[in-house]
Amino acid sequence: MGKILKTLVWLLILGGLIAGGFLTFYRFESQPPEVKISGLSPVLGRDFALQIKIKDTRSGLRWVKVFLQQERQVAILKEEAFPVSFLKGSGVKEKLYRLRVKPVEKGFAEGPVSLVVEACDGSWQHAFRGNLTRKTYQARLDLTPPAVTLLSARVYIARGGSALVLYRVGEPVAQTGVYLNDHFFRGYAVKGHTYAALVGLPVTEKGLTRFTVMAQDQAGNRLEIPVNFYYQRRKYPVYRLRLSEAFLARKMPEFLSRYPEAQKGSLLKTFLWVNEVLRRQNNQEIREITSRLSKEPFRLQGAMKALPHAAKKSDFGEYRKYYYRGRKVSEAWHLGLDLASVAGAEVPAAAPGKVVFAGYLGIYGNTVILDHGLGLYTLYAHLAGLEVPVGREVKAGEIIGHTDTTGLAGGDHLHFSVLVQGVFVQPLEWLDPQWVRYRILGPLSALR
């Protein structure tokens, strides 16, 4: 009897020792939590965001504290404690925080700042207080927007017209450009911190209420200053266009064969689909192509030259009302010049540039788009075929195609459009040597 009891006691002691040893080993672990900070840059602004990932797979997390510090100024950004069981540790093994910080609201000033993350686990280490990780991220608070100096004293712009804005920024910027109402036009660095922005006011705008230069630095500090401008309220004609049965019968099959989604049933229904749905799609694609960052150097030496020996058949900015059997059936803006010469006339590049599009483009038919740098583009439509490949560099006057009637063209002609960063503009300005010299080339060359 005594012997059994003795064995039992020994077994209990042994079991206790094993359990104790195991617990000690397991609960006295000395692996501190892992802390990962992401999303921060070395220069922080008035509003920034960050992500903190904290992990402790062994004892779990006991508490977490995140704060921003600048000399004696301290702001707690996050503080959280988790329940820790004496035997099992904490059940929270991982935590992800997404924080958004507005340091000015917390009383911080420009200068060095530290972001500190402290995390403690549920271990018995350090007199049962746990293992501590402390991670510091050093950065600089920049609360000052970049300085902007306008170099253009007064900018003339007409409805549907273009303009050049020159300005200088005081520091490297992350984003800069010009606003015309709600349209944003990128500024291109032309010399050091000097920027040039070509802008175009859409013919569809009723007026000009916002004409500003915007610059934003890496830290997100943003400045928008007004441009001194003179706005010319240019008028554009409204034009009545009669749709003949012959025209519809001649042109609609081209669209029906190319676009299975075209509206069928009658020639008029097809025309309405082409003139409204397809036109919108085509213009959207043109805007998209001509809104991209222009990688070409600006090599314009003088005015553009469109189709030589041609008669102007239609103006830019015409508002067309389409009549069918005496009834108005559709409307559209005409966003280029229609120039007619002999049938199959050679089409020269209006200025030096690079082919960025060559393809069939709905109402425009076979189309070529050239990039001239600074976000300036020209478009040539209703061409006979596609004679220049994308990527080809062309000189001013180099033949890029021949006139024809592809797309929504009644007779053989060239439809010539000029675009400034996605906006169709009045080509006549760019074809005018005086305008190009005084408004564009003169101010640009004065920088050099």
Which span sits near Zn ion by CB under 5 A: 166-174, 205-213, 300-308, 410-418?
410-418
Q: Which residue in 196, 222, 195, 200 sits closest to 211, CA to CA?
A: 200
Which span sits near Zn ion by CB under 5 A: 160-168, 261-269, 272-280, 413-421?
413-421
Q: How many residues bind Zn ion (CB under 5 A)?
A: 2
46 vs 415, which CB is nearer to Zn ion? 415
Three-state SS across 248-291?
HHHHHHHHHHHCCCCCCCCHHHHHHHHHHHHHHHHHHHHHHHCC
Dist CA 251 CA 253 (whole Å): 6
50 vs 363, which CB is nearer to Zn ion? 363
77 vs 306, which CB is nearer to Zn ion? 306
Q: Report helix, strand or coil for 147.
A: coil
Q: Which residue in 354, 401, 360, 403 sits closest to 378, CA to CA?
A: 354
Pick out residues in 417-436 that bind Zn ion (CB under 5 A): none
CB of 431 to Zn ion, least distance (A): 15
DSSP states of 224-248: EEE--EEEE-----EEEEEPPHHHH
Instruction: Note whether 415 binds Zn ion by CB under 5 A.
Output: yes
58 vs 415, which CB is nearer to Zn ion? 415
CB of 291 to Zn ion, least distance (A): 21
Contact track, Zn ion, 357-396, x by CB under 5 A: ----------------------------------------
Which span sits near Zn ion by CB under 5 A: 179-187, 316-324, 331-339, 390-398?
331-339
CB of 415 to Zn ion, least distance (A): 3
159 vs 415, which CB is nearer to Zn ion? 415
Which span sits near Zn ion by CB under 5 A: 142-150, 291-299, 303-311, 334-342?
334-342
Cα 335 from chain centroid (whole Å): 24
Contact track, Zn ion, 287-326, x by CB under 5 A: ----------------------------------------
CB of 336 to Zn ion, least distance (A): 5
CB of 416 to Zn ion, least distance (A): 8
8 Å CB contact between 323 and 337: no
Which span sits near Zn ion by CB under 5 A: 131-139, 278-286, 295-303, 411-419?
411-419
338 vs 404, which CB is nearer to Zn ion? 338
CB of 104 to Zn ion, least distance (A): 53
DSSP states of 80-132: EE--EETTTEES--EEEEEEEE-GGGGT--SEEEEEEEEEEES-SHHHHT--E
Torsion of CA 411, 161, 356, 196, to 10 degrees: 170
CA atoms within 13 A of residue 149's CA, in its CB half-sphere:
7
Which span sits near Zn ion by CB under 5 A: 17-25, 98-106, 364-372, 415-423?
415-423
Look at strands 318-324 and 238-242 and give their pairing.
Answer: parallel
178 vs 363, which CB is nearer to Zn ion? 363
24 vs 244, which CB is nearer to Zn ion? 244
- What Å distances lie between residue 249 and 71, 243, 404, CA to CA? 80, 11, 18
Answer for which of 29, 56, 142, 338 binds Zn ion (CB under 5 A) is: 338
Dist CA 76 CA 41 (whole Å): 20
8 Å CB contact between 190 and 196: yes
Question: Footprint of Zn ion on this chain (CB under 5 A)?
Answer: 338, 415
